[in-house]
Chain A
């Protein structure tokens, strides 16, 4: 019985099984399209709610190098540019590569520069992927696609704006196809700005008047307009800069906070664009980095040039600078963001665009357009909030007015997103100001080097002069 059973069933079955392996090979190694913890691109953009999970990443700001959220999380943009200009002194030895910014000793291997370069692109990838994903999706409404694309264009413009100001022309990565992007050469400064303007004007048209969600996280029309005003200012398109800033200011959507201590809080009335800063350990990168820890002296001190720029009675000096007495000396450090720990009683957000800058842009555009009085009026609005009297500059002197604006930008926008460093460079004052203040300045120092690893990975990339 047993024998028959084996010969009749088991043997043929085993033979078939073995012989059949070849035929059914493909079936045997089929696996689900994705593991339970991941989804593929087409699933990611299948409907609006999953699409929003990709969009959320673009507005997230975390202190983890591995994730590609908002691009300057670990890149220390305010720190590096603060050292390159005349805002900060680095006292610590924790990041040896940080010291090289002060004396213009950057090399193509500087790790901080490497992150400034890399993080913008790791953050641009999700943006390009979203633009491609939503437009290739069949499950999304035309209105939603337009809205999301426009939002992404604003963010993309911001990255390229910083990129072109830090490095000069950068590769314009506008697709997720690495076969295209891995061979890119650096675009010219004009093409980068061209792309920025294309993105922002398109975004401005397509974005809604209202913020698409609560708070000021996702851009509306005014965010695009505010960023446009800055770009026009940098491109010396004064009338467009004036108009854009004027649109933002006169929209009535924003007002300067009466208390400078409230400027950087969540829901600040002058916030045009704010990103949430919530992690379990600490709040903003700046709050953590600038505030002294562990009883040590602050890692970054306010440079005497910035310190001396504050006029007596400037409330910002008390509110936005911290103080610590070490060996009888008072050390000042940036204190716009005050929270160090997540458990802090107030909630701070990253301030990307705020109204005070728009006043100063409109002021500068007015001055350049020959309207000194209007310019000073805007400057004085900012000064008033700081508890300072009206500017004494002569409205008839364009130079005096522009100097007053430059001074106001210095004390108002310090350690925010590289303003001071960019301002000195775009107004061609970097050489005279920094050359006089510090040693080591060269014209080549105005641009940071392209990291050597990137040059190795893409032979079409060329280095900036001097590195």
Chain B
């Protein structure tokens, strides 16, 4: 590469070989270039006279050489890229002339001694600047090809262990170097280079290292710093911008789906801007709520953006009901959807996302890091020419797997049959068993496909992102703006719109001791959604009369039948409008005290504010009840974060030691407010709280402070052995006096056994092998602040009593709870084959969380259902992760790369003293997954009676099983667990010349509630004027002897025995099915236009592409979407096909 650069070099004007010193440098593979003209080029007044018109550049060079003696160094083929110039100067200086020559050329130049060296507009790779050196040694700087200093780079004398390390600015000094000493300069992630000390080059020099193509050496972002895969001993995975930009997702977290082993990413629904659930290596905590109420918890990782904890984390921003707020997803555990805080973060501004999974990687984050950490790093400017980038995408959305429901004819047939089998005459008394306006009043021939009406359309999305970046070595910048509009695949004008502005500045002082990075991200998201539950209306009777009058007003009664319960269009008139503002400021200051020792501070402030308005206009309510209301919600999360740290890097013996000591201070505040106004006189006032005659308000403030001191020591011996130690002491305001502090730590070690000569010899195909592991503890204080005291709170929703607003006691008082602790073990093996063209990783881990903080159920005679305490439970997650990356074909024009990962997690309740007599007896079993489900064993349909049958505890068939565990006299036994058995991703990238194709499949397997669990969840097929999936048709029992039926006899009455046997179905094993799917998650095809086409347009590169998401799904899961299982009325996951172009100029 660099050597190649020299091969064709010629010196115009002279046919003689290049000078000796140059030759020497050529041999060492170094191209001499000057970086800072102002430092080196002492251009004495050269008197140059030229008068040329439209001549090639090399002709001008020759004339200058003739007049000045200065030589020009360049490669012949470079001249093809230059354009002819016209020049007319008289007694001009060399620099003046050269500036004219190089104006608008694709090259710049540097003057070294008596040479003019042409260089590509990228930065120089090595320059020796010949003044101010110590006579007996050299001073220099090591940087990457973009000019960023490589702090900690190693500079060793070849063949010895002597050497030094570059400081945080990449600078180093070495003395007492005899002539001819060969130095080896190396840095993880970069190709090592050698450098010979000669008379000429003693002094200050600048060396750029080239990034290693070896993935092992790619930079890996870790807690408070970077490492490389080669020397890392923690469990760290990264997804880079290239992978993110291929996916037409608006929520950046969705771009992680299937990409990282052990990270579960689950959409809650297809609503634009909807919450995406995240989980690293399984559920560590058990349910804390009183069993009959509330949802099971779902542990989510800590999210940090550019060093600042993301203030809202992954909490739902919406306080009111909207289309996405169904408790629709059941990621093993039901969770509410809502609006994602990531809606205000533009994936195009993200440089990389790193997921830390084990104790070595996460323990340094201490509290909240115990469920894993996700580090988001935004894009930074690069030195060089100012680059303008523009990306424009237009996408089309449609429901990925729409649910097919019965048509009128089928529906009426089912309904009539149900009445016949129940021997009930259809009637018209509302809420009575025989209520059947669909059979008696509605048009028997009318057909509306509600599924199609609601989700049938294809919507259009837009995404535009523009950026400008560049700068010099000491100052770089990036500024980018984006606009995204995602429309709802739903009737009405609903959308999620985002505006973002990203900026990042870097500065280093001239002496390079001080570095400063400052970034500001501003995001604005507007989620305009319809009222809650409208998505359920795909199940409206298909012969429903028109619900809108010709004039657009809503129909409330049809031929005397009250149809207000079916009024789908009312939801469309009850908007939920959410606006989210996100500001993230980050600052990093670094200062080098002496070589190897630097101090720095990272500080940041994140503020995330949400304003939400819902309206219920009178026009959307049955006019019998004149009712209007509006709700105004505010949600304000803030995080202030200050982290001072001291870094020390030193070479000790044959190894390098890096030490980090730091502190952390964090303050989180959250303010939530809701105002509900009623008694409006007019729909037009609904946007204002002042128009309400009655206002109810509630608000809540939480404050959390956290501080910590931490240290990390890492020693890499002889590039072979790695030891890493981390420790920290955490303090949290969430705990009562005497309980605030906890200590945690981790130890990691690794051995690169391929460094051993015998191994190298015995296994020549093995280019890299490392075995490593870690063990550590981390603490959790994830509870509501202030819970260690008894509180009273006013409640505005309780009417005042004689003018006194009541105060309500909030909690039981327990001052005694403290830190929960998780212990993690991680053992892994990394292998590289055939010069690391194949990289393989396998990891075994075991996490155990004990003393989990949660509300422990209390008998209500205590006054409350629970008290916060450390639960006695201990939960284990243990599993294997495998990852493979392979470059299958690496040709001149064609390359084929594959990556594959799969993870197997096994969760179990390890211990729970006195579980059987605890409130959790119904929910958990020791040794079984925490997602265990108790229910009846399902035994199909009784062919004689048409009822569902179940097994009793005694093994007999029954259609009316007894509720409760066997121990309590019931018939419920463990029937399933909801653990993901395995999940992963499989991707292939093909490039042929300028064409690139990326095909990525994501897969997952688990047991999940099936469509029948929804079918029998709140009603049964046949009753309640509700339609059902087409899959019902022909599956239900029709009469005695029907042995093929998979669904029981139809039923209309709630009180019949058939209704009871049907209602037991949802609690039986029949309601659970295998849910295994592989989804063509991403298909991305792109083509870069040839440069010659672009040249005239001053465009550097232009790429056009087509990205598709969720194109195909292969699954055994029926009716609903395998990803958002559990309820087939959930807003469907979207299939997106996006076309776009990306250009830089």
- A interface with B by C-beta (< 8 Å): 2-3, 6-7, 10-11, 14-15, 17-18, 21-22, 25-26, 28-41, 43-44, 50, 52-57, 59-60, 62, 64, 67-69, 91-94, 96, 99, 107, 109, 114, 117-118, 121-122, 124-126, 128-129, 170-171, 173, 176, 178, 181-182, 184, 213-215, 217, 276, 278-280, 294-297, 326-327, 452-454, 456-459, 461
Q: Chain B, 939-953, contact with A by CB distance < 8 Å: what is the 0/1 string?
A: 000000000000000
Q: Using Cβ atoms and an 8 Å threshold, which residues of chain B touch A33?
A: 789
User: Closest Cβ of chain A: how far from B58's Cβ, in Å?
Assistant: 45
Q: Which residue of A lies closest to B917 (CB)?
A: A459
User: Are B732 and A29 in contact (CB-based, < 8 A)?
Assistant: yes
Q: Using Cβ atoms and an 8 Å threshold, which residues of chain A touch B968?
A: 452
Q: Does B429 contact A (CB under 8 A)?
A: yes
**Residue in A57, A118, A456 whose CB lies within 8 Å of B808:** A57
Q: Using Cβ atoms and an 8 Å threshold, which residues of chain B touch A128?
A: 863
**Residue in A29, A170, A276 whose CB lies within 8 Å of B705:** A29
| A44-B431 contact, Cβ under 8 Å, with A21-B709, A107-B963 | no
Q: How far is the CA of A54 from the CA of B785 in the complex (A)?
A: 23
Q: Which residue of A lies closest to B678 (CB)?
A: A280
Q: Using Cβ atoms and an 8 Å threshold, which residues of chain A touch B644?
A: 14, 17-18
Q: Give 6 A-B pairs besides A37-B794, A69-B806, A118-B865 with Cβ atoms closer than 8 angstroms.
A: A21-B707, A29-B707, A38-B810, A57-B806, A178-B814, A456-B857
**Residue in A53, A99, A184, A280 whose CB lies within 8 Å of B804:** A53
Q: How far is the CA of A15 from the CA of B645 in the complex (A)?
A: 9
User: Are A34 and B791 in contact (CB-based, < 8 A)?
Assistant: yes
User: Are B802 and A215 in contact (CB-based, < 8 A)?
Assistant: yes
Q: Does B686 contact A (CB under 8 A)?
A: no
Task: List the 9 shortest-distance A-B pairs measured between CB atoms, nearest first.
Answer: A125-B863, A57-B806, A458-B859, A21-B663, A178-B862, A296-B430, A53-B807, A56-B804, A457-B859
Q: Using Cβ atoms and an 8 Å threshold, which residues of chain A touch B800?
A: 56
Q: Using Cβ atoms and an 8 Å threshold, which residues of chain A touch B919?
A: 453, 456-457
| A67-B797 contact, Cβ under 8 Å, with A54-B807, A107-B963 | yes
The segment from B104-112, B185-193, B203-211, B695-703 that touches chain A is: B695-703
User: Closest Cβ of chain B: how far from A371's Cβ, in Å?
Assistant: 41
Q: Using Cβ atoms and an 8 Å threshold, which residues of chain B touch A64?
A: 797-798
Q: Which residue of A lies closest to B591 (CB)?
A: A6
Q: How far is the CA of A184 from the CA of B645 in the complex (A)?
A: 54
| A56-B646 contact, Cβ under 8 Å, with A38-B810, A122-B864 | no
Q: Using Cβ atoms and an 8 Å threshold, which residues of chain B touch A294?
A: 430, 562, 564
Q: Which residue of A lies closest to B643 (CB)?
A: A18
Q: Using Cβ atoms and an 8 Å threshold, which residues of chain B touch A459?
A: 917
User: Are B804 and A52 in contact (CB-based, < 8 A)?
Assistant: yes
**Residue in B646, B732, B860, B918 whose CB lies within 8 Å of A122:** B860
**Residue in A7, A53, A99, A452 whose CB lies within 8 Å of B593:** A7
Interface size class of B (residues with CB under 8 A): 35 or more
Q: Return 11 A-B CB contacts under 8 Å, by A number.
A: A40-B789, A54-B806, A57-B808, A67-B797, A109-B964, A118-B860, A125-B864, A128-B863, A129-B809, A178-B862, A182-B862
Q: How far is the CA of A29 from the CA of B562 in the complex (A)?
A: 59
Q: How far is the CA of A18 from the CA of B791 in the complex (A)?
A: 35
User: Closest Cβ of chain A: how far from B676's Cβ, in Å?
Assistant: 9
User: Are A38 and B791 in contact (CB-based, < 8 A)?
Assistant: yes
Q: Does B292 contact A (CB under 8 A)?
A: yes
Q: Which residue of B lies closest to A41 (CB)?
A: B790
Q: How far is the CA of A44 from the CA of B861 in the complex (A)?
A: 22
User: Closest Cβ of chain B: how far from A135's Cβ, in Å?
Assistant: 16
User: Are A99 and B1055 in contact (CB-based, < 8 A)?
Assistant: yes
Q: Does B833 contact A (CB under 8 A)?
A: no
| A182-B858 contact, Cβ under 8 Å, with A29-B732, A39-B807 | yes
Q: Using Cβ atoms and an 8 Å threshold, which residues of chain B touch A44?
A: 792, 807
Q: Does B424 contact A (CB under 8 A)?
A: no
**Residue in B663, B729, B802, B805 whose CB lies within 8 Å of A213:** B802
User: Are A121 and B798 in contact (CB-based, < 8 A)?
Assistant: no
Q: Using Cβ atoms and an 8 Å threshold, which residues of chain B touch A109?
A: 963-964
Q: How far is the CA of A35 from the CA of B865 in the complex (A)?
A: 23
Q: Using Cβ atoms and an 8 Å threshold, which residues of chain A touch B665?
A: 21, 28
| A29-B291 contact, Cβ under 8 Å, with A96-B1054, A294-B430, A326-B429 | no
User: Are A276 and B807 in contact (CB-based, < 8 A)?
Assistant: no
Q: Chain B, 428-449, contact with A by CB distance < 8 Å: what is the 0/1 string?
A: 0111110000000000000000
User: Closest Cβ of chain A: how far from B934's Cβ, in Å?
Assistant: 14
| A178-B863 contact, Cβ under 8 Å, with A6-B591, A18-B662 | yes
User: Are B798 and A14 in contact (CB-based, < 8 A)?
Assistant: no
Q: Using Cβ atoms and an 8 Å threshold, which residues of chain A touch B867?
A: 178
User: Closest Cβ of chain B: how far from A61's Cβ, in Å?
Assistant: 8
User: Are A456 and B918 in contact (CB-based, < 8 A)?
Assistant: yes
Q: Using Cβ atoms and an 8 Å threshold, which residues of chain A touch B805?
A: 53, 56
Q: Chain B, 589-608, contact with A by CB distance < 8 Å: what is the 0/1 string?
A: 00101000001010000000
User: Closest Cβ of chain B: how far from A407's Cβ, in Å?
Assistant: 33
Q: Does B921 contact A (CB under 8 A)?
A: yes
**Residue in A15, A118, A121 whose CB lies within 8 Å of B646:** A15
Q: Which residue of A lies closest to B629 (CB)?
A: A280
Q: Which residue of B lies closest to A22 (CB)?
A: B709
Q: Using Cβ atoms and an 8 Å threshold, which residues of chain A touch B795?
A: 67
**Residue in A14, A22, A182 whose CB lies within 8 Å of B861:** A182
User: Are A28 and B806 in contact (CB-based, < 8 A)?
Assistant: no
User: Are B663 and A18 in contact (CB-based, < 8 A)?
Assistant: yes
User: Are B290 and A453 in contact (CB-based, < 8 A)?
Assistant: yes
User: Are A10 and B791 in contact (CB-based, < 8 A)?
Assistant: no
| A68-B808 contact, Cβ under 8 Å, with A40-B790, A56-B800 | yes
Q: How far is the CA of A454 from the CA of B290 in the complex (A)?
A: 10
User: Are A67 and B798 in contact (CB-based, < 8 A)?
Assistant: yes
**Residue in B646, B732, B791, B860 whose CB lies within 8 Å of A40:** B791
Q: How far is the CA of A10 from the CA of B592 in the complex (A)?
A: 11
Q: Using Cβ atoms and an 8 Å threshold, which residues of chain A touch B790?
A: 40-41, 129, 176
| A93-B1054 contact, Cβ under 8 Å, with A41-B792, A57-B808, A59-B801 | yes
Q: Using Cβ atoms and an 8 Å threshold, which residues of chain A touch B484?
A: none
Q: Does B799 contact A (CB under 8 A)?
A: yes
User: Are A181 and B430 in contact (CB-based, < 8 A)?
Assistant: no
Q: How far is the CA of A68 from the CA of B661 in the complex (A)?
A: 50
User: Are A176 and B863 in contact (CB-based, < 8 A)?
Assistant: yes
Q: Which residue of A lies closest to B914 (CB)?
A: A459
Chain B CB within 10 A, most for which of A18, A91, A181, A294: A18
User: Are B431 and A296 in contact (CB-based, < 8 A)?
Assistant: yes
Q: Does B400 contact A (CB under 8 A)?
A: no
Q: How far is the CA of A294 from the CA of B621 in the complex (A)?
A: 13
Q: Does B385 contact A (CB under 8 A)?
A: no
Q: Which residue of A lies closest to B707 (CB)?
A: A28
Q: Does B682 contact A (CB under 8 A)?
A: no
Q: Using Cβ atoms and an 8 Å threshold, which residues of chain A touch B922?
A: 456
Q: Using Cβ atoms and an 8 Å threshold, which residues of chain B touch A124?
A: 861, 863
Q: Using Cβ atoms and an 8 Å threshold, which residues of chain A touch B806?
A: 53-54, 56-57, 60, 69
Q: Using Cβ atoms and an 8 Å threshold, which residues of chain B touch A213?
A: 802
Q: Does B532 contact A (CB under 8 A)?
A: no
| A18-B646 contact, Cβ under 8 Å, with A109-B963, A457-B857 | yes
Q: How far is the CA of A26 from the CA of B810 in the complex (A)?
A: 26
Q: Does B793 contact A (CB under 8 A)?
A: yes
Q: How far is the CA of A287 from the CA of B806 in the complex (A)?
A: 24
Chain A CB within 10 A, most for which of B290, B661, B731: B731
Q: Does B740 contact A (CB under 8 A)?
A: yes
Q: Which residue of B lies closest to A36 (CB)?
A: B701
User: Closest Cβ of chain A: how far from B1103's Cβ, in Å?
Assistant: 45
Q: Using Cβ atoms and an 8 Å threshold, which residues of chain B touch A214?
A: 802
Q: Using Cβ atoms and an 8 Å threshold, which residues of chain A touch B662?
A: 18
| A280-B694 contact, Cβ under 8 Å, with A38-B792, A295-B430, A296-B429 | yes
**Residue in B799, B865, B921 whose CB lies within 8 Å of A279:** B799
Q: Using Cβ atoms and an 8 Å threshold, which residues of chain A touch B857?
A: 453, 456-457
User: Are B731 and A26 in contact (CB-based, < 8 A)?
Assistant: yes
User: Closest Cβ of chain B: how far from A462's Cβ, in Å?
Assistant: 13
**Residue in B646, B802, B858 whose CB lies within 8 Å of A457:** B858
